[in-house]
Amino acid sequence: MRALPGTVEAEGVRLRPFHVDDIADTTSACSDPITQRFLPGLPAPYTEADAQWWITEGAPAARAAGGAAYAVADPATDRLLGSIGLSNPVPVRGQAEIGYWVAPWARGRGVATAATRALAAAAFAHGAARLELSTHPVNAASQRVALAAGFRHEGVRRAATQARDGGRHDLVCWVRLADDPPGPVTRTLPDLPGGRLTDGVVALRPVGADDAAGMYRLHSRPEVIANRVPPEPPSLADIERRCRLAESRWLAGFAADLAILDAATGELVGGCMLHHDEPATGQAMIGYSMLPAGRGRGLATRAARLVAGWAFDEVGIARIWAGTRPENVASQRVLEKAGFSREGLLRGRLPGPDGTRVDSLIYGLLATDVPR
């Protein structure tokens, strides 16, 4: 990969070298709690001396090593908006890694997406074949930048980096190739329209970190545990992790994890998940559980109908399936009322308690089954 130009102006941003007038803004931006959280390699506290070292020594050294370190500036005022660069170059592979931060005063304006697109285009024009972008698993904002800039989810690198507390955490890897089509990546699972689904009686919204207590209350109930796979009680830590990573898994196209609410009160009454288990065949699996306060009121049926309608109309799913244990008559009634047809019995499909195997009744719903 050939050396990149000193300045890149594209996508409504200016990528230029840092200069000493950026010291105050760099210090302020790199002291920000969000920047500090997701860039644990930054000094803490971050001082003007740290900013001066970066501007006079660190950024030039990155370029000398075959990478790049740009200030992202407003083309009209030249004020610092953030930073972006290329690191860990592997010349024999034509590969490098993009990293960035955005100053608090510039967030919410598409700066990171614009800068990433601009730098990626410049890198490809100068011989790069593959660019990687790594994000913290809970940094959904950065993952949305990756998708908007044309980077595709490639996998998770377990314990790939050190956290500020001395532990380690995973990194989600996003990749763009030189011959990938331009523009943002088409999401396998788009966002809900308006952020939620509702029929006026029940409402569904994405699960978030704040739902951990309610979801643990739901999934630790004996009757819910009996229908888990495997039928074992989750720990609070398991549920907290699930809720923290729910948006990341949604963005990666794995599953839409939803909280079921009473639309009138906003009370959490259950949970529902659409697992996109076979994207190549247009199939997804639905599962749901209800707290006692939500049972016997038809809310699970309403939730299943709402999710199915979204999956068929917005996601482009062709078939949704669900499995229930033969004795779970209540769940079978929910599926039948929601329009699903019983398709058969899979013997010994699921792990049961104490090393046993249990049967699963299979239900299916096709997009063509639902009146439009």
What's this model's pTM, rounded to 2 decimal places? Answer: 0.93
DSSP letters of 194-251?
GG-EE-SSEEEEE--GGGHHHHHHHHTSHHHHTTSSS--PPPHHHHHHHHHHHHHHHH
Indicate the length of the chain as a whole number. 372
Distances (CA, A) of 12 to 18, 68, 75, 78, 100: 18, 20, 7, 12, 16
Q: Residue 128's domain spans which residues?
A: 8-177
User: Within a domain: residue 265?
Assistant: yes
Residue 224 confidence (pLDDT) above 80 = yes
Same domain, yes or no: 113 and 214: no
Last residue of a domain, one of 137, 152, 177: 177
If one counts the domains in the chain, the total is: 2
C-alpha to C-alpha distances, 264 to 199, 204, 240, 271, 273, nearest whole angstrom:
11, 12, 26, 17, 22
Write out pLDDT tens, residues 96-120. 999 999 999 999 999 999 999 999 9
Contact of 120 with 85, CB cutoff 8 Å: no
pLDDT band at residue 371 under the 50/70/90 scheme: confident
Average pLDDT over every residue of 244-260: 97
pLDDT tens sequence across 334-355: 999 999 999 999 999 999 888 8
Asked whether residue 169 falls in the same domain as residue 215, the answer is no
Residue 18 lies in a domain: yes
d(CA 74, CA 82) in angstroms, rounded, equals: 10
Residue 188 forms part of a structural domain: no
pLDDT of residue 2: 84
Taking a C-beta distance cutoff of 8 angstroms, is the pair 328, 215 a contact?
Answer: no
Q: Is residue 2 part of a domain?
A: no
The span from the CA of 29 to the CA of 101, in Å, is 8
On whether both 12 and 158 belong to a single domain, the answer is yes
255-264 pLDDT per residue, tens:
999 999 999 9
Separation CA 371–CA 59 (nearest Å): 60
Inform me whether the pLDDT recorded for 1 exceeds 90. Answer: no
Please indicate, yes or no, if residue 26 is contained in any of the structural domains. yes
Same domain, 41 and 128: yes
Q: What's the confidence (pLDDT) of residue 372?
A: 61
Percent of the chain with pLDDT over 90: 94
Q: Are 156 and 267 part of one and the same domain?
A: no
Whether 57 and 146 share a structural domain: yes
Residue after which a domain boundary falls, among 151, 177, 203: 177
> Is position 236 within any domain?
yes
Domain boundary among 152, 177, 202: 177
- Looking at the fold, whether 128 and 274 belong to one and the same domain comes out as no
Specify whether 169 is located in the same domain as 44: yes
Q: What is the dihedral of CA 120, 121, 124, 128, to 10 degrees?
A: -10
Q: For residues 171 and 208, state if they share a domain.
A: no
Beta-sheet pairing, 255-262 with 341-351: unpaired
Please, what is the average pLDDT of the chain?
Answer: 96
Residue 164: its pLDDT value, please? 87
Q: Is residue 102 part of a domain?
A: yes
**Residue range 308-334: average pLDDT?**
96
φ and ψ at 67, to 5 degrees? -105, -145
Structure tokens at 368: 């063509």
Q: Which two tokens stand for residue 93?
A: 């592979």
- Domain containing residue 213: CATH number: 3.40.630.30
Judgement on whether residues 34 and 137 belong to the same structural domain of the protein: yes
The angle that helices 140-148 and 236-252 make with each other, rounded to 10 degrees, is 20
* Closest of 231, 226, 334 to residue 286, by C-alpha: 334
Structure tokens at 215: 């979801």
pLDDT in tens, 9-23: 999 999 999 999 999
Residue type present at position 354: D
- The pLDDT tens digits of the residues spanning 198-210 come to 999 999 999 999 9
Res 91 pLDDT > 80 = yes
Cβ contact 106:32 at 8 Å: no
30 in the same domain as 104: yes
Residue linked to tokens 């399936």: 321
Checking phi first, is residue 360 left (phi over 0); if not, alpha (psi -120 to 50) or beta? Answer: beta
**Residue 36 belongs to a domain:** yes
Answer left, alpha or beta for residue 18, where phi above 0 means left and psi between -120 and 50 means alpha.
beta
246 and 157 in a common domain: no
